[in-house]
Amino acid sequence: CPYHNWSYGLDGSLKMRPHFFGPDRHDTPAPGEGAVCLSEVRSGTWFDLIFVNLSADAPALDEFLAPAAARMTAHDVGALRHAGTFSCDLAANWKFAVENFIEPYHVFAVHPRLINFAPMEVRSPSVAEGQAFYNEYEFPAAEAGRGDGLPHYPGLGAAGRRRGFWMHLFPSLSFEVYPDQFTLMHLVPLGPDRTREEFHVYLVGEAATSDEHRSGREDVIRTWRDLNDEDIGVVEALQRGRKAEGYGGGAFSPHWDEAPRHFSRLVAEAVSAA
């Protein structure tokens, strides 16, 4: 603990409380006899990601990750290595960032390069099943930053080399997969109208760190930066628009917007339960 330098073992047991009984009178309990222990918190790992959950009612991590694992059977996550991280701050609530991520309807209007890479005719509405959201498409051809120029997942078949997909597991796990990468979007709420977005990029094997693949690695990170920069203005406009006196609830597309509707339901249920 940085406040008084109390120290604990990895099992949460108290090791030492300096000067606890007065100057140079330290509390150093025998093993297993510490008077104060840290509370145990549920945790688990999935390749490089560490999950922590404070709720005793949460499902097991394997159950939570099952929708993701089922759709990544062709992707060897053990081959992934961390390649870089970047972040930005949004003047918007974190839920708008999630809605923007799971809603493909805006792509043609906001993302000119992305719509050329995967036109609207290859896109379908996002699917919502329980606490899982996902979407996938087969793109006509790979490009720099999305599947071209870097090693692919080992053993990935021909179909997988032209497939992109993303997933969101409610409330806060969002990631996107291309043949050569896994990119995690981590949202940190800073207030009701402020959010920090962190993008953690993973590549396959030596592509994450080698000089040989530096250019391809920079292409991937630049592609994600450019895509996110295109989204910032419209997501912040959503925040401002909700405060407008004339806002009456908006309208949903019957084709594209079932996933955002379902996300809103889950948020409402979670808030009501709390």
Beta-bridged to residue 174, according to DSSP, are 168, 185
> What pLDDT, on the 0 to 100 scale, is given for residue 39?
84
pTM confidence score: 0.90
User: Do β-strands 173-178 and 163-169 pair in parallel, antiparallel, or remain unpaired?
Assistant: antiparallel
Strands 14-16 and 7-8: antiparallel
pLDDT tier at 249, thresholds 50, 70, 90: confident
Three-class DSSP category at 100: helix
Q: What pLDDT shows up at residue 40?
A: 84
**Residue 35: which pLDDT band, with cuts at 50, 70 and 90?**
low
User: Using the 8-state DSSP alphabet, how is residue 48 labeled?
Assistant: T
Among the residue ranges 90-94, 108-112, 154-158, the one predicted with the least confidence is 154-158
DSSP string, 119-182: -GGG----EEETTEEEEEEE-SS-EETBEESSPPPTT--TTGGGEEEEEEETTTEEEEEETTEE
- Whether 105 has a pLDDT exceeding 90, the answer reads yes
* 239-256: average pLDDT: 92
pLDDT band at 199 (very low <50, low <70, confident <90, very high): very high
Q: Is the pLDDT of residue 158 over 70?
A: yes
| Average pLDDT of the chain, as a whole number | 94
Q: Is the pLDDT of residue 84 over 70?
A: yes
Q: Residue 47 contacts by C-beta under 8 Å, 6 or more apart in sequence?
A: 77, 78, 80
Reduced to 3 states, what is the DSSP secondary structure of residue 186?
Answer: strand
Mean pLDDT in residue range 108-137: 95
Other C-beta atoms closer than 10 Å to the C-beta of 244 total 8
CA-to-CA separations, 74 to 30, 79, 141, 152, in angstroms, rounded: 50, 12, 19, 11
